[in-house]
Structures are given as C-alpha cells and as structure tokens.
Amino acid sequence: MNNSILEVSHLTGGYQANKPVLHDVSLHVNSNEIVGLIGLNGAGKSTTIKHILGLLDPMNGEIKVGGTTFADNKDGYRKQFSYIPETPLLYDELTLWEHLQLTALAYELGEEWEERAEVLLQEFRMTNMKKWFPGHFSKGMRQKVMIMCAFLVKPSLYIVDEPFVGLDPIGIQSFLDMMLEMKDKGAGVLMSTHILSTAERYCDRFIILHDGQIVMAGTMTELRNQIGNSAATLDDIYIEATRSGK
Amino acid sequence: MMQLQTLWKERAGAFWNIAMRYFRLIGNSSFLFTLVLSLIFGAYYYSEILKVLPESFPGVAVITIVAAIVLVRTPLRFFLSEADLVFMLPAENRLQGYFRQSLIYSFALQVFTTVVVMTILAPLYQHEMAAGTGYYVFVICVLIVLKGANVLMKWMELHLPAHHSTIVYILVRLAVTIIFTYLLLIQAQWFYVALSAVLFVVTFFLMFLPLQRKYAIKWEKLLAMDEKQSMKFYRTANLFTDVPKLKQSVKQRRLLSSLGEKLLPSDSVYATLYQKAFIRSNEYFGIYFRLWLLGLAVVAFVPGLIGKVIGTALIIYLTATQLRTLYPHYQAHVMVKLYPVSDYEQGKAFRLMLLRLLGAQAVTFAALSFLLSFDVIVFLSVFLAGSVAVAVATSRAEVVRRSVS
C-alpha cells in the first residue's frame, strides 16, 4: 500500500459528537486506480467526501492525501486533488473561461494551463461558449464546466461525487475517457455514484457504504466470491450487501 | 482577470449595489412614515417613563444586559459563495487578507449598532448614575474595544469543528463581557475594573486564540452564517418589494402547528396553505409574536390613555404591514395556480386569517388594559382603537391594494 494516494484510516466523523454519521471507515485509493464509493442516499458518501476535503474534522482516525494530513499542511494537502461536487457550484458573475482562469489561480497552475483549457473545451464541445455565463446553463452543461475545471488541474487524486446525472451521453463518454486517461497517467480516482452499471464497467474496486459503515469492499471478482455468486452484477451485490448489512 | 487580493472588494461592492437599490425602494415607501411615527411615539414615552421610574428600578443592570447582548451577538459577514467550496479551498491560506477585510467590515457595522444602542440608553444611565457625559463617552469607547474583541473571539469560535459545541465558548464570552461592562458602568474602583480586564485578556489568549491555530476554517459554517444574514436582509426588503433571491426556510414547529390547525381557519385550499405558511415558513410567526409582546408592553407601561390608544392601533397596523408578504407567498407556485380555486377565495382566506390574528391582538391588548386599571373607559377606548385598526387592515380594498403594490 505504498503507492496509495488517499488513505483513510478508522475515520469516525459527522456533525454531532453524540451522533456520528461515519463509524470506523477505512479505505484507500492507489495511483492508477478508480475506486467506486457506493451507497444509498444518506449512507454517508457525501460526509466521507467532506472529511476528505477537509471541510469536516475527524472525531477519530486520520486521513492522508499523498502522505500528509490536512492539519500538517493545509494548502499542500488540498492542491493534490480536485473535486467535482454532486450539484455544480458556479459563480453567477463569471464566464466559463473565467472559471477556468480562477481554477488556475487557486491551484497556482503554470502558464501552459491555457493550452490545456482549449483542449478541454474542444473535448467537451464548449469552445464557442467560452464567454458565456454558465450559471444559467442546463445542469449537464454546468456539470461539464465543473469537470473541465477538475481536469485542468491534473492533480494526483480526483474526488468525484455523482458525475453522470444530467450529462448527455457524449459528455459521459468524454468524462469516462478522460478519467481512464488520467488513471493511466498515474492518478487515482474516488468516485461516488448511483449508476451501478457504469461503475461496474469503469471502476477497479468498490467500497459499499451502508449506514456509515463499510459493509463490503473489493474488486468485482472479490465481491462476487463474497456473496457466492460468480455471475452477480454490481446491482445484485449491492442489494445483497445492504440487506445482510442490516 | 480575477485576483484574490481584490476579491473581497468586488464582492462587497456587488452586494452594496443591490442593497442600495433596495434601500431606495424602502425609502420611497409609506412604511418609513409609520416607522418615524413609532420613533417619535417611542422617544416621547421613553422620557415620560424615565420621569416616573421608581427608585428601585435596576437601571444599570438593564443597561449591562442590553449592552452585553449587543456586544456578544456578533454576526460576521464574509460574502462567500457556494462555489467557493470548490474553487477557493486550495487557496485557503492565501485568503487571509480576504477574511481580515470581512472581520473589519463586520466590526465597523457593529460599532455603529453599539453606538446607537448606547446612545439610546444614555438618558437612562444619566438618570441612574448622575455621571458626566465625558465618562459615558469613555464607557462607549471601551465597549467598542470590547466589540472588537468579541468579533475576533467569534471568528476564532467559528474554527471549532462541527461536532464540538460552541455553547461553552459563547457563555464564557458573555460572562467576561458582562462582568467588565458592569464594573465599568457602576464606576467600580479601578483595581476591580483592571482585574476584570485582565480576566478578559486571559480568556482571549488562553481559551479563544488557540482555536484559530488548531483548527482550519469551517467553510460550511461561514456559508450558513452568510446565508442567514443575507436572507434576513432580503426578507426585510421583501416587505417592500419582490425579492427574487429570497429562499424559503421552513421549520416544523410541531406544537404551534397543531395549535394553528385549531385556531386558524383551514376549510379551503388557501386557508390551509396560509395557515401552514404563517406558522412554518420564514419569520411570519416570529414577527407577529414579537409585535404582540411589544404591544402588550406598550399597553402595560405607557402612561396615559391617549398613548395606549395610539400604541394599540399602531402595533396592530404595523403587524398587518409586516404580514402583507404572506399574501403573495404562493404566487410563484405553479401547482397552486392550477387548482380550481378563484382569486376571490384567496383574498377571502387571507383576510379571514388576518382578522383572527389581529383580532387576537386587539382583544388581548384591551383585556390587559382592563386588568391593569379596572377602568371600563380605558378598556373600551383600547378595544375601539384596536377594532378600528383591525377593520382597516383587513378591509378588502386594503388587502387587494397591497397585493398589487
């Protein structure tokens, strides 16, 4: 586990001391790996992600990105990953291009970011919308802006929360292709999603979260072995896991 | 090109641009007239009450408590946007200037409130302590310093993780502020004042300052705080004009809800909706309840019949003005528009509810005036004033006119 980029160990956390949302969660993401974080609404996926982002402090346990904790080195910690939220969060008063500019500014990217931004705009078919204000775009278009900003950074870790909802099929394909490309170049991805069939095809490993606890984890083969059904889909496994986890 | 250094200025400027537009609208409305009238009314009876205040009235204690509340209650304004949760996180350390400007801005605004409140309390203090104006100005200056310290302490407090309770910190802040303010106001020996100042400083450095060092900025808390304040502002502006940015906040209020179901009409679509909206959404109930309490206080403490009569009518009319935004509450709701219900029924439902709410005020004001004086004339006058105010405020013309304006 020396090449793990994200390392969450024994994390207990949430908003209220007497009512933690997460109980003793341990997971890791290696480089060259896409890990699917699967769970029902309210299972604790978003809380896990908030802890990783450093928006919440752990009540117990530790989170390391690239070997450092948030407390050790705040900026250094956060510059190693980019985050795509579940609902696109954009500034009403900035154009699409200015969002990319702001990302470059926040992550202190080198001069060559503009070139990369042009390539991304082309890939997501938004070159002619550069000067538009994305605050009023459709959900899918806004999601594309978030995705482009995340890929512009080229971090070693991507934290992605439900990226597919609202995206058009070509957008989904572009996103998945780029994710695979970044993975091949050494990045790690933690992706939370409900679209299990897509997750099954693209993720290398899965973590199934239920009521704030990890009930199952492993590759497809490992999961299938755990429930003793070698032909099971991720949907089958998921339903089985949350039922027995009850 | 965007720059982190100018970010704060741009955002504060953008907010004030919008705010000024609303202030102009508020200035043009008739509400201002009602407000000025209430102010004159209040000022006159304030001085009257001071004349008849009994010797045993704990004036300094009251001043201390009011001042402490003003000093400790420290809402901070950051002009953050939800998108900052994605874009600004990696730049957190480079945003120290941004947060410093926010604190200075919040401090400046609250110095204004502190000075206004302390000026209002000045006659009471002169009445109690017979101290020179010079000394009182000195007190205000020290309180401004305390305000600054409270702004910083609140900022440090905001660094606490979500699962740590802030209540202990708020109580400690309140305690040291009260002790210091009280000793200052009663002109205690300088030794005790100095001692309490030392206590304050020690608390600041040992209890609060470490929080900022130990924990990171809690973006979600700051966002929630910002949201709350801008909604408060927009809600006020919404009394005068349509505010598109206003988001609805909803509270369950179980006990009140069941009470509302019994006491308010709920026999038609709009009657039900208005009753639910009044109790659960935004601040309607809070505004109503506070004005009611204020009215009871006016009836109880304002000497003289004329004062009680004017006060009663004024409070009831003010309540009606404040509740007017409830009428178009469902205007933007598509489903309600599709129901087979006429506009007439909507107006009727609203007026019926207003009638009950304002009627309850009128009756309780009159009852209280009778209980305190056992004088039928007083009772009848207050009741008549209340009834007239209710009748005017709930008349069909009035309700329709308001919904149009």
Per-residue pLDDT reduced to its tens digit, B26-44: 777 667 777 888 888 888 8
Read off the pLDDT of residues A42-59 as tens digits, 9 standing for 90 and up. Answer: 889 999 999 999 999 999
Cβ–Cβ below 8 Å for A78 and B92: yes
Q: Give the helix ranges, DSSP H, for chain A.
A: 45-53, 74-78, 96-106, 113-123, 139-153, 169-184, 196-202, 220-227, 234-245
Contact residues, chain A, for B89 at CB < 8 Å: 53-55, 78, 83, 106
Smallest CA–CA distance, residue B403 to chain A, in Å, is 30
Query: Which of B15, B84, B85, B87 to mutate against chain A (most A CBs within 10 Å)?
Result: B87
Mean pLDDT, rounded, of chain A? 91
Cβ–Cβ below 8 Å for A16 and B81: no
pLDDT confidence of A83, banded at 50, 70, 90? very high
Give me the mean pLDDT over the A84-90 stretch. 92
Q: What pLDDT score does B242 carry?
A: 67
Give me the mean pLDDT over the A163-192 stretch. 92
ipTM score above 0.90: no
**What is the arrangement of strands in the sheet containing A60-65, beginning at the earlier edge strand?**
A22-30, A4-13, A60-65
Read off the pLDDT of residues A183-207 as tens digits, 9 standing for 90 and up. Answer: 999 999 999 998 999 999 999 999 9
Read off the pLDDT of residues A112-153 as tens digits, 9 standing for 90 and up. Answer: 999 999 999 999 999 999 999 987 888 888 999 999 999 999
Q: What pLDDT score does A47 carry?
A: 93
Among chain B residues, the shortest Cα distance to A104 is held by: B87
Q: What pLDDT score does A2 carry?
A: 55
Q: What pLDDT score does A136 carry?
A: 81
**What is the domain partition of chain B in residue ranges?**
7-232, 248-404
What are the structure tokens assigned to A43, written together? Answer: 């299972």
Q: Over chain B (405 residues), what is each successive 10-residue block's mean pLDDT?
A: 81 90 79 80 86 86 95 94 92 92 96 94 88 90 96 96 92 96 92 94 95 91 92 79 68 80 80 88 83 90 87 91 84 79 85 92 93 89 91 77 53
Q: What pLDDT score does B405 carry?
A: 44
Contact residues, chain A, for B81 at CB < 8 Å: 91
Contact status, residue A34 vs residue A181, Cβ threshold 8 Å = no
With a CB cutoff of 8 Å and minimum separation 6, the contacts of A239 are none
| A-B C-beta contacts closer than 8 Å | 78
What are the structure tokens assigned to B396, written together? Answer: 């069909």
> What is the C-alpha separation between B233 and B240, in angstroms, rounded?
12
Cβ–Cβ below 8 Å for A89 and B83: yes
> In order of start, what are the domains of chain A with their CATH numbers?
4-80+156-245 (3.40.50.300), 89-154 (no CATH)
Cβ–Cβ below 8 Å for B218 and A98: no
Q: Exposed, middle or buried: residue B337 (CB in 10 Å: 0-12, 13-18, 19+)?
A: exposed
Cβ–Cβ below 8 Å for B163 and A91: no
Secondary structure (DSSP) of B198-229 = HHHHHHIIIIIHHHHHHS---HHHHHHHHHHH
What are the structure tokens assigned to B286, written together? Answer: 């809070």
Among chain B residues, the shortest Cα distance to A18 is held by: B163
Smallest CA–CA distance, residue B168 to chain A, in Å, is 15
B81 vs A: CB within 8 A? yes
B85 vs A: CB within 8 A? yes
- Among residues B344, B331, B239, the alpha carbon closest in space to that of B277 is found at B331
A93 vs B: CB within 8 A? yes
Question: Which residue would you say has higher pLDDT here, A25 or B35?
Answer: A25
Query: Which of B163, B213, B217, B230 to mutate against chain A (most A CBs within 10 Å)?
Result: B163
A105 vs B: CB within 8 A? yes
Q: What pLDDT score does B125 carry?
A: 92
With a CB cutoff of 8 Å and minimum separation 6, the contacts of B268 are B341, B345, B349
Cβ–Cβ below 8 Å for A106 and B90: yes
Cβ–Cβ below 8 Å for B86 and A89: yes
Contact status, residue A97 vs residue A131, Cβ threshold 8 Å = yes
Nearest neighbour of B2 by CB, restricted to A50, A83, A98: A98
Secondary structure (DSSP) of A18-42 = TB-SEEEEEEEEETTEEEEEE--TT
Question: Can you give the C-alpha Rg of chain B in angstroms?
Answer: 24
